[in-house]
Amino acid sequence: MPFAAQGWYNGTMNANANECFARCASGFERVVAQELKDLGAKRVRPLKGGVSFFGTAEDAYRACLWSRAATRIQLVLVRAGASCADELYRNVRAFPWEEHVAVGATIAVHVHGQNGQLRNTQFTALKVKDALCDRLRDVRGTRPSVDSKDPDFAVDVSLFKDRATLYANLSGASLHRRGYRLSGVQGEAPLKETLAAGMLLAAGWGKAQALGNHSIRGFCDPMCGSGTLAIEAALMALDRAPGRLRDRWGFEGWAQHDQALWERLCAEADARANAHEGGIAPIVASDKDARAVDLARANAQRAGVADAIRFLVADAASLGGALAAMPEQGLMATNPPYGQRLLSRGELAGVYASLRAAAQDLPFAWDMAIITPDDSIDGALGETATQVIGCYNGPIEAGVRLYRDRSDRTRLALVSLGGRETSVSVAEANSAQFAARLRKAAKERAKWARREQVSCMRLYDADLPDYALSVDVYQEQGTDAGKGGAPPFAGAYVRVAEYQAPGHIDPLLADRRFNDALAIVPAVLDVDPSRVYSKVRKRAKGGGQYREARGDSKTVIVEEAGLSFEVDLGGYLDTGLFLDHRITRGMVGELSMGARFLNLFAYTGAASVHAAAGGAASTTTVDLSHTYLDWARRNMQRNGFEGPNHRFERADVRTWLKQAAAQSAVYDLVFCDPPTFSNSKATEDDFDVQRDHVELLKSILGVLAAGGKIVFSCNLRSFKPDEEALLGAGMLVHDITRDTIPHDFERSPKIHFCYEVTPLS
């Protein structure tokens, strides 16, 4: 049998058994499946990239007219053997195209997929087009014209292994083209209408409207851009068929198109829309960009829903008044700005702070839906997503994050460090203990910092087992904390880092606590929420090293002992300045007068800066990373240390030490702070500090001057130096750890170990 037709009887549409396929964005198959069931389709089955269903011509038309999340409605025409070009041509030519392609209709063929013999989609499309046209020429005497951009009848071909499935594209252009957005005049990265509708349906908005509950639910998009989410929400609330905004369809070039049936369905849709002309629950769309709001309003006017939406030019953080009048139940859905442009400008923290402020103003019974590629947004919002739908927003891999069941949240009353009474929304009642502990520690630390002239410090370090996180403060250089009676940390930047919870802790509970902490920290410290950055610390597979995590880069220049350092609060797991090494760096500076100084595993070169400031005759800074070595060079230059006496070597430390010894290089003072574990692709062997520290120190001894000294540090909490092996290698080890732990790390005395290592006389 050359082909297997599906749902056909004598070449005409079977009234009860037509197989169709609704294409949709990956991740939204179940959303579209529910839509089709609600529309009366039969045998609905979600598949990858779409939903298979069966029904009459009326069901197919109804899907075109009413589906909000599907991107295309296709009618399965034939499944044909396609092991090679000749077989595909024969089978396609045997199909009765004259019963489907209207006389005079232009055509186009689009192919997806390949197999061993048909590897080029353009070639495959040409074979299908030739077979179709040859068939129609034989039957009608003329070949149809081809219009690749806007055909009257489009054939979609899906090729898999040695079979090809041919569809009639009933919808024509993608269903996201509702008609209310003008091409070329929209804001940055607008959501496709079908993706926006899928978000709303997944969040339960469309279902609530279908049940007639729209009068008790509100809607808000605080970063509306061109207004797509608010417009789609209004179309649902007003029971408007999205297809009524379109004026061209793929089925118009189909020989079996029933115009009377289509007009009847359109009339029914109009009657439903007219029945919902009354008031609906408030829909608010706002954006701080006045141009974006103008675009959104114009789009809503073209969609016929402008009167149903209240448009505001306002930052999300200032929507409190508008949201206060909202119903107790509703949905906030938004597509916040993101992408490399925004990340590189360091604006993401401000965006999240505004969004968090809007969420805090919402009644707790409201749900939220946010599309973003950044899963750290949960921490920034102080919320925990209950469901994440993976998807693509254009070329960007993202996720629709749904936040439901927020009704268990409570408002926690707080008094800030500066005496300001405030409150925050929290999910865990125990978060009050964290707030009290943080306030107590910050009050004590503020007095200590003023006395010791410390501007970057740790305020909290897992003081409470249930809140396993650290809170660090970074004062920007040139600012005077607490000046004029201001709160001690006002104007500072704060970094909150989460430690990975033990395996027995419920991850969702840990997330809730961490998110509560992120809401509490700026309120207690009187810090602008946009200045709070967060990171989650997760162990890499196989042990010690923490996974590198890139994020929203935010560079700040800070001061330590009168020296300037660049820190990045968001871009990396660590900021570029290890606060627990504050005393160690000072000690290095004191030991450096006249010394030839070597900094191994130098990271961002902070120890080199202190050595140079302490009067080192020369500094050599060695690290394998281009990024960190450039960072170290900037730190040195910022403090005025340039020239041939200050060298920077990009190399694997162990390899470099062998080469330096061979060249008879000599150093008086060496600072070495190796990683706990490293398996960089740029090195031949991995490194384990416990296993390899003796060999490493022996190599350093090979470049150490007579009477020289090594300051060796590591942060492996279980580290124990092999003193016997080191003594056998001619080295004495003196543990100076206790003397190098700063006051703000006294709760964590194993934050690092530090030793003076000297050669035997």
Instruction: Say what the pLDDT of residue 535 is.
Output: 78
Q: Do 362 and 411 touch, CB atoms closer than 8 A?
A: no
> 131 lies in a domain?
yes
Rounded to whole angstroms, the Cα distance separating 538 from 354 reads 27
Does residue 300 sit in the same domain as residue 441?
A: no
Does residue 397 sit in the same domain as residue 477?
A: no
- Please give the C-alpha separations between residue 224 and each of 117, 231, 347, in angstroms, as whole numbers: 48, 10, 17
The average pLDDT across 8-15 equals 42
The residue among 376, 408, 440 that closes a domain is 408
Where residue 731 falls among pLDDT bands split at 50, 70, 90?
very high
User: Exposure pattern of 369-380 as b/e (b: 16+ CB <10 Å)?
Assistant: bbbbebebbbbb
For residue 96, give the CATH number of its domain.
Answer: 3.30.2130.30
Does residue 655 sit in the same domain as residue 589?
A: yes
The residue among 511, 536, 561 that closes a domain is 536
Q: pLDDT: is 592 or 350 the higher one?
A: 592
Instruction: Say what the pLDDT of residue 234 is.
Output: 95
pLDDT of residue 317 exceeding 90: no
Instruction: Say what the pLDDT of residue 12 is.
Output: 43
The DSSP symbol for 97 reads G
Does residue 530 sit in the same domain as residue 666?
A: no
Q: pLDDT: is 241 or 479 the higher one?
A: 241
> 254 lies in a domain?
no
The average pLDDT across 282-288 equals 93
Rounded to whole angstroms, the Cα distance separating 625 from 254 reads 62
Does residue 441 sit in the same domain as residue 511?
A: yes
Burial class (CB in 10 A: 0-12, 13-18, 19+), 503: exposed
Does residue 591 sit in the same domain as residue 713?
A: yes
For residue 652, give the CATH number of its domain.
Answer: 3.40.50.150
Does residue 360 sit in the same domain as residue 425?
A: no
The average pLDDT across 458-477 equals 95
pLDDT of residue 543 exceeding 90: no
Comparing C-alpha atoms, which of 188, 242, 203 is closest to residue 333?
203
Instruction: Say what the pLDDT of residue 14 is.
Output: 54
Instruction: Say what the pLDDT of residue 277 is.
Output: 64
The average pLDDT across 673-681 equals 86
pLDDT of residue 718 exceeding 80: yes
> 507 lies in a domain?
yes
pLDDT of residue 546 exceeding 50: no
In this structure, the number of other CB atoms found within 10 A of the CB of residue 262 comes to 18
Q: Is the dihedral of CA 506, 512, 514, 517 positive or negative?
A: negative
> 360 lies in a domain?
yes
Instruction: Say what the pLDDT of residue 8 is.
Output: 36
Rounded to whole angstroms, the Cα distance separating 569 from 549 reads 12
> 514 lies in a domain?
yes
Does residue 35 sit in the same domain as residue 69?
A: yes
H-helix segments, 368-430? 377-381
H-helix segments, 362-430? 377-381
User: Which tens digits make up the pLDDT trace of 580-591?
Assistant: 999 999 999 999
- Computed over every residue of the chain, the mean pLDDT equals 89
Instruction: Say what the pLDDT of residue 194 is.
Output: 97
Work out how many domains the chain is built from and give that number: 4
Top mean pLDDT of 310-324, 498-512, 715-729 is at 715-729
Does residue 398 sit in the same domain as residue 424?
A: no
Window from 12-26, 48-62, 253-267 with minimum mean pLDDT: 12-26
User: Which tens digits make up the pLDDT trace of 623-667?
Assistant: 999 999 999 999 999 999 999 999 999 999 999 999 999 999 999
Window from 67-71, 101-105, 365-369, 703-707 with minimum mean pLDDT: 365-369
> 54 lies in a domain?
yes
> 181 lies in a domain?
no
User: Which tens digits make up the pLDDT trace of 140-170?
Assistant: 999 999 999 999 999 999 999 999 999 999 9
Q: Is the dihedral of CA 77, 80, 84, 89 positive or negative?
A: negative
Window from 240-244, 254-258, 318-322 with minimum mean pLDDT: 318-322
Where residue 323 falls among pLDDT bands split at 50, 70, 90?
confident
Domain of residue 713: give its range: 578-759
User: Which tens digits make up the pLDDT trace of 207-243?
Assistant: 544 444 444 689 999 999 999 999 999 999 999 999 9
| Amino acid residing at 698 | K
Q: pLDDT: is 335 or 207 the higher one?
A: 335
> 249 lies in a domain?
no
pLDDT of residue 463 exceeding 80: yes
Does residue 615 sit in the same domain as residue 730?
A: yes
The average pLDDT across 681-696 equals 87
Where residue 381 falls among pLDDT bands split at 50, 70, 90?
confident
Residue 535: both structure tokens together = 């990171």
Where residue 138 falls among pLDDT bands split at 50, 70, 90?
very high
- Please give the C-alpha separations between residue 446 and each of 182, 191, 467, 476, in angstroms, as whole numbers: 55, 46, 22, 15
Comparing C-alpha atoms, which of 176, 175, 152 is closest to residue 73?
175
Task: Provide the pairing of β-strand 283-287 with 217-221.
Answer: parallel
User: Which tens digits make up the pLDDT trace of 174-210?
Assistant: 999 999 988 766 666 679 999 999 999 999 997 544 4
pLDDT of residue 440 exceeding 90: yes
Does residue 19 sit in the same domain as residue 130?
A: yes
Does residue 343 sit in the same domain as residue 460?
A: no
Window from 20-34, 330-344, 500-514 with minimum mean pLDDT: 330-344
For residue 465, give the CATH number of its domain.
Answer: 3.30.750.80
The residue among 480, 515, 536 that closes a domain is 536
Q: How many residues does the chain have?
A: 761
Task: Render 556-603 in DSSP notation, one character per residue.
Answer: EEEEETTEEEEEESSSSSS-SS-GGGHHHHHHHHHH-TT-EEEEES-T
- Please give the C-alpha separations between residue 433 and each of 301, 422, 442, in angstroms, as whole numbers: 51, 16, 14
Instruction: Say what the pLDDT of residue 429 is.
Output: 86
Q: pLDDT: is 744 or 375 the higher one?
A: 744
pLDDT of residue 382 exceeding 90: no
